[in-house]
Chains A and B, each alone.
Chain A
Amino acid sequence: MQDISVLIGGKAGEGLNKAGQIIAHIFGALGYRVYLYYDYPSLIRGGHNFSIIRACETPIASHHDAIDVLLALNQETVTLHQKQLRAGGILIFDAAFVRADGMGIPLTIILEEEKAPAITRNTGIIGAFCKAIGIRWELLEEVIRKDIARQTEQNLAVARRGYEAVPGVMVVPDLQHKRLPFVTGNEAVALGLLHGGLTTYIAYPMTPTSSILHFLAEIAPPFGLKVIHPENEIAVMLMAIGCAAAGERVALGTSGGGFCLMTEGVSLAGMAEVPVVVVMGQRTGPSTGLPTYSGQTELFFVQHAGQGEFPRFIVAPGNAAEAYSWSAVALNLAWKYQTPAFILTDKNLSEGGFSLDLVTSPPSPEWFPPSEGGSSYKRYALTESGISPFIPFAAPGAVVKYNGYCHDEQGISTERPELVTIMQEKLLRKQQSLEKEISNIPSVNRLGVVDAATTLLCWGSCRGVCEEVAEHRRLRVVQPVVLCPFPVEQVRRALEGSDRVIAVEYNATGQLATLMLQHGFTIHHQIHKYDGRPFTIEELEERVKGVLG
């Protein structure tokens, strides 16, 4: 099976993310399923950045320790990553900056001769890379024209010189498979939200969800989308609540630190029964932690954020396709149940790149039980399902009263114990209705060797690496995608016939494992990783071997 990994490294500001995308698009054009891991420190220029691009015949969402091709724009890339290069692998580097055994290309001279800006060094090395692995020049030219809007001709000239500077070493075959779109997890979330009927997106910049803000701001006009960047996360959440109350379909994005500021608003949305979707991209904590690295430490935080008891929906997609589909579903559920919904991602998913294979299209926007309004309208009308008919402000004849205080059906504040009890029970009924709905949506994945006795239990971006390890070790993978309301029955069915459960999580305490224990499941072993980086396949396999003995 074709399975090729490329690492390109250099300093921040040298266009490494772009270079990774171009390489991913080249593999995508040859019908490969591609995964990209982008690793960068929190600084603007300098430091050491690298992308690992892995191309495979089958769908993937993880990477190996070993690489087949190493592309070095600086010495540090060689120092840090040469040991990962397989015997017989290809090393291409900029001869002016790097000393190594491999194919040095005179990029600095090429740039001078072509009068090209420094940023084109990345296309120069990609040119050499393409020649070395047997890519047709025409394909490279097509991809560069598509991916590089500025200084395209200079980039092409430099790429061509790089292409001519090295010999062909191998030929990566054209798989002739369907050419899939290559997107980041954040792009998949954003497009899924648009699919789900998003009309307004509000956010304060914070890694790893900033690129949702950037992407949506860029593509907003043809969607009639409003994109707003207010003063802080408190305003983000409260503006979103105001927008939703007046009829917008709204989502917002943040990470743990920003979400801390939003929690009063989460509780208000729960009490006032206002729909809102929060994209919560996890990174390494506590506090500032590692701003540009990953983690899975916010499950409990998101599950419990905000004072009081009210329903909420939490979904943790494991790859781009799930991010797309579930983002649309999250909007529908938030609006149907008029309560907060959370899309829990992490840096690896948000900023990683994936071939997007949408096997089934998610549902179209549903616009919840609408009300006809009129003078008898009650914002919190009591119903069997707990869901009150919703109507935005300005409905003819209706007085629409939202309230964060304990209130009656009309929305007028009350402190009467019997009314407070009735309204809390309304929220409970809504919770039960949501639970029932989730039980009818496939919310738990059973993957790998589905009848194996030993299970790797995981959530979110851990899915991809668990799947591959499971294939090698003949294990089952169970991945609850919906985490709240917890799909207990579906998890039970997914685990049927399994007598050993190994929980794999990117945190130090095992949050999913703890949640499972709370629901009466048994977890036999736990594997944790909390250095901000994703598991490589080999690394997790070693850890699993250690557990299995």
Chain B
Amino acid sequence: MTGMPLISDTQNTWCPGCGNFSIQHALKAVLSTLESEGISRDTMVLVTGIGCHAKMADYFNINSFYCIHGRTIPVATGIKIANPDLTVICCAGDGDAYAEGLDHLIFGAKRNIDITVIVHNNRVYGLTTGQYTPTSPLGFRGRSTPAGTLEYPLNPLEMMLATGATFVGRGYSRKIESLKSLIREAILHRGFSFIDVLQICATFFDVHDVYDQYVYELRDHESASFDRAMEKAREWDYNNKGPIALGAFYRAKLPTFDQKVTAKIISLEGRTAAIQRILDERR
């Protein structure tokens, strides 16, 4: 399929000004470069959840699995286990990754499966018209919490560091160049790569002025140090105003799950003989 445009001709239905456009653009640029560097498009698989972000599956002209809410990571894990030669990328929403499918996010990191998880974190449920998510700030007034939420937000970076992700980063949908290099690095990283992308929801939670004011790029950061990474992750709690670092917080090299579970397929004859041996042992 090389040579076909990466973006399909499916009609795009995101709101004008949606942060998803930037993430799509960044991912497209990265995939295009990777392709030119020799990674066949045939071996790329995009897995999406449910929500505005999920339409990426339709908009990209590559292998995809448009699955269900919260379940991108187990599907992607299965794909990677089945064929470790594939480049498997999950685009998930914050509802997907941090609410409905939080268990899978934690276990994906824990088992260090070699997939890349890009969380389109707009900190609101967009497609279901504006309810709070696990990363909405305390007091967020959504349609299910008209008087404001009663819960503090999760800090996804802190959580991912604590549970074993080997690449942890944060991007911002209005810092497209740094987002591109972050996505590229995450895809090339061998192991569980996690990127939280602060994304504007133009309709329900547009806080770009706050992000624009507080974001900064990590420089001279010791990303091999877990403690330094944790310090940076705790700098901003997703609730109060504070400096918001962007870039790669943590990089670690560890064996991946998919490398550990590979098995050699045997012939049908070998299989029949092995079954017979087991039955003979049970006589």
List chain A positions with a Cβ less than 8 A from chain B. 25, 28-29, 146, 179-183, 187, 191, 194-195, 197, 199-200, 202, 219-226, 228, 230-232, 234-235, 237-248, 250, 264-265, 268, 272, 356, 364-365, 375, 392-405, 407, 411-413
Contact = CB atoms under 8 A, between A and B. Distances in A.
B274 to A, nearest CB: 5
Contact of B63 (A28, A183, A230, A399): A399
Given A235-B103, A243-B81, A394 B75 contact: no
B43 A394 contact: yes
B78 A241 contact: yes
B66 interface: yes
Contacts, number: 190
B34 interface: no
Q: Which of A219, A250, A412 has the most CB of B within 10 A?
A: A412
B223 to A, nearest CB: 28
B68 A220 contact: no
Given A228-B81, A231-B107, A356 B75 contact: no
A292 B205 CA distance: 51
Contacts of B264: 224
Contacts of A395: 42
7 contacts: A194-B275, A199-B263, A228-B261, A230-B77, A238-B75, A394-B43, A411-B64
B279 interface: yes
Given A242-B76, A247-B83, A231 B67 contact: no
B28 to A, nearest CB: 15
Contacts of B79: 242-243, 245-246, 393
A250 B83 CA distance: 13
A199 B265 contact: yes
Q: Which of A197, A223, A237, A265 has the most CB of B within 10 A?
A: A223
Interface of B: 1, 4, 8, 10, 42-43, 45, 47, 55, 57-58, 61-68, 71, 74-83, 85-86, 103-104, 106-107, 261-266, 268, 270-272, 274-275, 278-283
A394 B87 CA distance: 10
Given A242-B65, A394-B63, A226 B55 contact: no
Contacts of B271: 194-195, 197, 223
A191 B278 contact: yes
A28 B280 CA distance: 12
A243 B82 contact: yes
A234 B71 contact: yes
Contacts of A232: 103
Given A356-B279, A399-B1, A238 B58 contact: no
A240 B62 CA distance: 21
B105 to A, nearest CB: 10
A404 B67 contact: yes
B77 A239 contact: yes
A179 B280 CA distance: 10
Contacts of B268: 197, 364-365
A247 B82 contact: yes
5 shortest interchain CB distances as A-B pairs: A242-B78, A246-B82, A238-B74, A239-B78, A242-B75
Contact of A412 (B10, B42, B78): B10
